[in-house]
């Protein structure tokens, strides 16, 4: 029908088409039956996130992989060319792994990514300071903690949350207050939950804080009981529970479960009946999690399966006599979290904050003989000095325009400038962020009443800062 040359040409074109289709369909399939975990010979007692002033990382640790179908075969060492490696996190497609590693003993920790199929690694961060605790963000990005040297001599170092592209570009700072942030986890709804601890002017207990990936709308997610401290990052289950490990005043480390829907009032200790310590957990199958557990009187943590519903600890999945088995993650494809839009505009240098009523109280005082101390002013405190004092509106509302990315605290004053309430925890607003609060309320489960604050009928009060409002932005470098 066609001359031979033409026919051959068609054959070539067809072959190319099939080739292209074949290439397309040969996309990497997620690995199955693989658990990656951190092995460590050393003492893990010191891993305590409540001590936010120094790096608590596992020197000499390594990441290994085991095949759950052949548990007796030797483990596959994934990070043999590193002195230390830990904190594995798996990509949503199940093909890649983020981790923190030291190439050599005295190197700083950097973030790396590994293709789990061919074990090729690429370095993501090239920082002068330690970068740890990575997790994947939707949109080919990651969030991690980076050590920054604090200017205040009272605070040695702190870890600040940053995000960047998976190739290390487009670095963005996420948190801006004198607190330290560790162990971030990206929740399915798109926000980042991290352990946060205020360091200045005095250290406060660590809590779980939650924020959008751009750092906006940061708020308390879970508050520790007194004398308790968090020893692991948060893990989200498919049923909406948030799990983590918490140490009590006797230093027993248990698995704690929270309802995502009501985190401040839903704490359940899942392992109070189990003696021994838990170290870290991650989702496994159905209601089960992988947990690093060390029985009472045992020397090392081993890898166990734990059923969250029945609260039963299964048999060890893997243990060896020499190493702690820590931070185990089951390699599987999972739902990508939502990619939240960002209101941050770096061309804007300010942000807006409105408060409905600084005198708001959920519970009205029942004893009318006790005089009610009413605040009439607001003081905005910066790191070193007062940034502003202003009168609030008759309804107790205020509305300020404040320099972005600048930490501040709030305290209310009466007519005589006596402190009525405060100071608050550290806050910061991102460029162009707009934020609202109900008041200095004690009940964090309240929604605002449907009332227009008087303050927003006027222009916002500009809050000056010690720095020049127009100072050029510093370019961020790794």
Partner 1 sequence: MKSKKVKIFFFVIAFLGLIIFIPGRMFVRHHVNQKTAVTDHPLKCTSCHLYTSKNKIVSNLINEDYYSPFNIAVSNDGKRLFVVAQDTGELLIVDAESKTVVQKVKVGVHPHSVILDKTNAFAYVSNQWSDNISVVNLATSKVLDTLITGNGPSGLALSADGAKLLVVDTYGSDLSVIDLDTKEEMKRLRTGSDPTGTALSPDGKKLYVTSRRSKIVPYGEPLVSDLTQIDATTLRVDEHKDVEEAYMMENITFTPSGDLALMTLIRPKNLIPSIQVEGGWMMTHGIGVIDQNNEGRIIQLLTDQPNAYYSDSFDIVVSPDGKRAYVSNAGADKITVMSVDSIRAIIKETPKEQLKNIANNLGVSSRFVIDRISTGANPKGLALSPDGKKLYIAEQLEDKIGVLNTETLKMETAIDLGGPTRITVARQGRRLFNNAGHTFQNQYACYTCHPDNHEDGLVYNMAGKDMGRNVTNTQSLREIGDTPPFKWNGKNQTIYKQDGMRFSTVLTRTEQFSYDDLDAITAYIKRGIKYPPNLMYNPHGKLTESQLRGKEIYNRTKDNSGNVIPENNRCYTCHPAPLYSNLQPADVSTLAVSDDSILFDTPHLGNIYASPPYLHDGRAATLEEIWTIYGEDNKHGYVNDLTKMQLNDLIDYLKSLGGPEQEDEGYQEQQTASF
User: What phi and psi values does residue 8 have, to the nearest 5 degrees?
Assistant: -60, -40
Shortest distance, CB of residue 137 to partner 1, whole angstroms?
Answer: 12
Whether omega before 316 lies within 30 degrees of 0, making that bond cis, reads no
How far apart, in whole angstroms, are the C-alpha atoms of residue 261 and residue 185?
A: 17
Shortest distance, CB of residue 183 to partner 1, whole angstroms?
Answer: 20
Shortest distance, CB of residue 368 to partner 1, whole angstroms?
Answer: 12
Nearer to partner 1, 67 or 188 (CB): 188
Query: Measured between alpha carbons, how far is residue 464 from residues 2, 17, 77, 356, 468 in Å?
Result: 81, 64, 55, 22, 8
Nearer to partner 1, 16 or 476 (CB): 16
Shortest distance, CB of residue 372 to partner 1, whole angstroms?
Answer: 14
Nearer to partner 1, 138 or 314 (CB): 138
Shortest distance, CB of residue 199 to partner 1, whole angstroms?
Answer: 25
Shortest distance, CB of residue 455 to partner 1, whole angstroms?
Answer: 8
**Which H or E element spans position 121?**
strand 121-123
Shortest distance, CB of residue 143 to partner 1, whole angstroms?
Answer: 17
Shortest distance, CB of residue 269 to partner 1, whole angstroms?
Answer: 18
Beta strands in 187-299 (DSSP E): 192-198, 207-211, 219-222, 229-230, 235-236, 241-247, 253-259, 268-269, 277-283, 288-294
Shortest distance, CB of residue 262 to partner 1, whole angstroms?
Answer: 5
How far apart, in whole angstroms, are the C-alpha atoms of residue 62 and residue 362?
A: 51
Nearer to partner 1, 108 or 354 (CB): 354
CB-CB contact of 104 with 96 (8 Å): no
Q: What residues contact residue 87 under an 8 Å CB cut-off, 6+ apart?
A: 38, 98, 99, 100, 132, 133, 134, 327
Beta strand 241-247 with 253-259 is antiparallel
Nearer to partner 1, 394 or 474 (CB): 394
Nearer to partner 1, 312 or 442 (CB): 442
Nearer to partner 1, 47 or 218 (CB): 218
Residues in contact with partner 1 by CB under 8 A are: 2-3, 5-6, 138, 189-190, 217, 219, 240, 260-266, 338-343, 352, 354, 356, 362-364, 399, 434-436, 438, 443-453, 456-460
How far apart, in whole angstroms, are the C-alpha atoms of residue 372 and residue 365?
A: 8
**DSSP codes joined into one string, 273-334:** TS-SEEEEEEE-STTEEEEEEE-TT-SS-EEEEEETTTTEEEEEEE--SS-EEEEEEE----
Nearer to partner 1, 22 or 341 (CB): 341
Based on its alpha-carbon atoms, the radius of gyration of the chain, rounded to whole angstroms, reads: 26
Nearer to partner 1, 62 or 218 (CB): 218
**Which H or E element spans position 35?**
strand 34-40
Question: Which residue, chain included where needed, has tokens 């209101």?
Answer: 343
């Amino acid at each position: 029908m066609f001359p031979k040359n033409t026919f051959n040409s068609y054959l070539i074109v067809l072959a190319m088409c099939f080739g292209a289709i074949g290439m397309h369909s040969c996309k990497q399939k997620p690995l199955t039956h693989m658990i990656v975990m951190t092995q460590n010979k050393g003492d893990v007692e010191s891993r305590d996130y409540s001590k936010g002033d120094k790096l608590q990382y596992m020197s000499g640790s390594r990441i290994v992989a085991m095949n759950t179908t052949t548990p007796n075969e030797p483990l596959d060492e994934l990070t043999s060319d590193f002195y230390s490696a830990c904190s594995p996190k798996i990509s949503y497609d199940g093909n890649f792994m983020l981790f923190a590693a030291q190439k050599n003993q005295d190197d700083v920790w950097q973030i790396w990514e590994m293709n789990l199929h061919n074990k090729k690694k690429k370095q993501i961060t090239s920082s002068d300071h330690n970068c740890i605790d990575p997790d994947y963000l939707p949109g080919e990005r990651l969030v991690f903690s980076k050590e920054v040297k604090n200017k205040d001599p009272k605070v040695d170092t702190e870890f600040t949350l940053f995000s960047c592209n998976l190739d290390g570009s487009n670095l963005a700072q996420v948190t801006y207050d004198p607190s330290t942030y560790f162990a971030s986890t990206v929740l399915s709804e798109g926000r980042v939950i991290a352990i946060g601890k205020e360091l200045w002017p005095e250290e406060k207990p660590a809590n779980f804080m939650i924020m959008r990936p751009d750092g906006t709308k940061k708020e308390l997610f879970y508050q520790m009981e007194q004398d308790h401290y968090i020893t692991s990052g948060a893990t989200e289950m498919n049923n909406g529970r948030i799990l983590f490990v918490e140490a009590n005043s006797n230093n027993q480390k248990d698995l704690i479960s929270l309802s995502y829907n009501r985190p401040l009032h839903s704490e359940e200790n899942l392992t109070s009946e189990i003696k021994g310590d838990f170290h870290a957990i991650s989702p496994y199958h159905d209601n089960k999690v992988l947990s690093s557990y060390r029985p009472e009187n045992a020397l090392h943590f081993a890898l166990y399966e734990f059923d969250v519903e029945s609260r039963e600890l299964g048999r060890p999945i893997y243990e060896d006599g020499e190493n702690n088995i820590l931070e185990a993650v089951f390699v599987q494809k999972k739902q990508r979290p939502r990619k939240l839009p960002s209101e941050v505009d770096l061309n804007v240098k300010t942000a807006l904050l409105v408060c409905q009523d600084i005198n708001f109280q959920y519970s009205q005082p029942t004893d009318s003989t006790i005089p009610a101390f009413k605040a009439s002013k607001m003081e905005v405190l910066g790191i070193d000095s007062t940034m502003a004092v202003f009168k609030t509106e008759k309804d107790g509302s205020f509305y300020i325009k404040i320099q972005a990315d600048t930490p501040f605290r709030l305290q209310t004053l009466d007519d005589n400038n006596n402190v009525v309430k405060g100071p608050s925890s550290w806050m910061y607003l991102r460029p162009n962020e707009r934020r609202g609060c109900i008041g200095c309320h004690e009940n964090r489960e309240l929604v605002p009443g449907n009332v227009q604050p008087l303050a927003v009928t006027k222009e916002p009060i500009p809050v000056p800062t010690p720095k020049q409002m127009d100072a050029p932005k510093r370019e961020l470098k790794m």
